[in-house]
Amino acid sequence: TDTDTADEAVRATCDDASICKRFATSKGYWKDPYVQYFVRSVGERKAPEINRGYYARVQGMNHLLDAFIRKTECDCQVISLGAGLDTTFWRLKDENLMPRKYFEVDFPTVVARKIHNIKTKPPLSKPLIETHSTDSLLLDGHSLDSDRYCIVGADLRDISNLDEKLKKFQLNPELPTLLVTECVLVYMTPSQSSRLVHWAADTFHTAMFINYEQVNMSDRFGQVMVENLQRRQCNLAGVEACQSLDSQKERFLKAGWEHADALDMMTVYSVLPQDDVTRIERLEFLDEKELLQQLLQHYSICWAIKDKLKLGLAQLAF
């Protein structure tokens, strides 16, 4: 059916993200020794503005993620929704920033592929075994559950199923919780993503939600971006919620979050540590500075908090 085709195109977007991350890391934009186990070859060249865009995305998301984990002194859990082939779990292990438990959710077929890679690649499975104490490690085709890392196959549009599965794997609603969606909500209708954001606000009393996705999509450049994605049969059901930074924040404030902030990626890029930005700007010559600006102005990071435990989550920013 059309829905199956659209969902299949959405599932394929996890490869796009990892292929671009693999290419940018091969050029030295940032280090990720694990992405190679999910994307075998470096693949064809990507334009310098794409690599810089991914650099801003990854550094921007890592900045808030690490700030949350430090603020809670690792006494927290992280839930990456629509995680795809993301490698953050292994980075946090290497940097001694592991939360009590790191959860990932994606469609069952994506999860099955990820688990297959973990099973067959020792550099991926070793850290998982090292952080596991008993012999009860669950590793079947559809889910993985260890003491510190859990991968669940579920559709994010089906909240009751999502909630049930996460609780089955010892999700703890009392623990400070970080939820992350990186290029995920745009594939759901505004009411579906609102329900997800609502569920998170209802489930956790002390939490942060970080969302990275398109913004300012109603201008000319935004329209071209939408057309390009639609040409690949990708169902951008959520693009309506990506009109402005205000609409990004509204989604959270309407759903019961106490406080929300949003920045476009041009602003994020300009406040990232500038010595490292100078370093990456020397990696590849970029002729069209304006194109990079246009691109970065059409992506954003929005983050929202609830802070019943008064940990000072409202201070987390750039």
Tell whether residue 196 is a contact of ligand SAM (CB under 6 A).
no
> Is 162 or 175 the residue whose CB approaches ligand SAM more closely?
162
Of 174, 158, 164, 156, nearest to 80 (Cα)? 156
Q: In whole angstroms, give the CA distance from residue 100 to residue 22.
A: 28
Q: What is the CA radius of gyration of the chain?
A: 19
> Does 195 participate in binding ligand SAM (rule CB under 6 A)?
no
Which residue in this structure is represented by tokens 């003491």?
Answer: 147
Calpha distance 49→47 (Å, rounded): 6
Closer Cβ to ligand SAM, 208 or 311, answer by number = 208
Among 145, 182, 261, 307, binds ligand SAM (CB under 6 A): 182
Work out whether 268 is an interface residue with ligand SAM (CB under 6 A): no
- Compare residues 80 and 177 and give the one whose CB is closer to ligand SAM: 80
Nearest distance in Å: CB 18, ligand SAM: 6
11 part of the interface to ligand SAM, by CB under 6 A: yes
CB of residue 252 to ligand SAM, shortest distance in Å? 18
Closest CA to 143 of 123, 161, 166, 126: 166
Q: What's the min distance (Å) between Cβ of 182 and ligand SAM? A: 4
How would you list the strands of the sheet with 206-214, edge to edge? 138-139, 144-145, 149-153, 101-106, 77-81, 177-182, 206-214, 299-307, 259-264
Secondary structure in 3-state letters for 8-67: HHHHHHHHHHHHHHHHHHHCCCCCCCCHHHCCCCCCCCCCHHHHHHHHHHHHHHHHHHHH
Closest distance between ligand SAM and the C-beta of residue 156, in Å? 4
Residue 300 · residue 212 · CB < 8 Å: yes
121 binds ligand SAM (CB under 6 A): no
Smallest gap from Cβ 13 to ligand SAM, in A, equals 4
Binding mask 77-116 for ligand SAM (x = CB under 6 A): -----xxx-x-------------------xx--x------
Q: Contact letters (x/-) for ligand SAM, 152-181, by CB under 6 A?
A: ---xxx------------------------
The minimum distance between CB 289 and ligand SAM, in angstroms, equals 25
Q: Which is nearer to ligand SAM, 154 or 201 (CB)?
A: 154
Distance (Å, whole) CA 242 – CA 262: 12
Task: CB nearer to ligand SAM: give 192 or 206.
Answer: 192
Distances 214 to 22, 183, 241, 262, 263 between C-alpha atoms, Å = 21, 8, 9, 12, 11
Binding site for ligand SAM (CB under 6 A): 10-11, 13-14, 17, 82-84, 86, 106-107, 110, 155-157, 182-184, 187-188
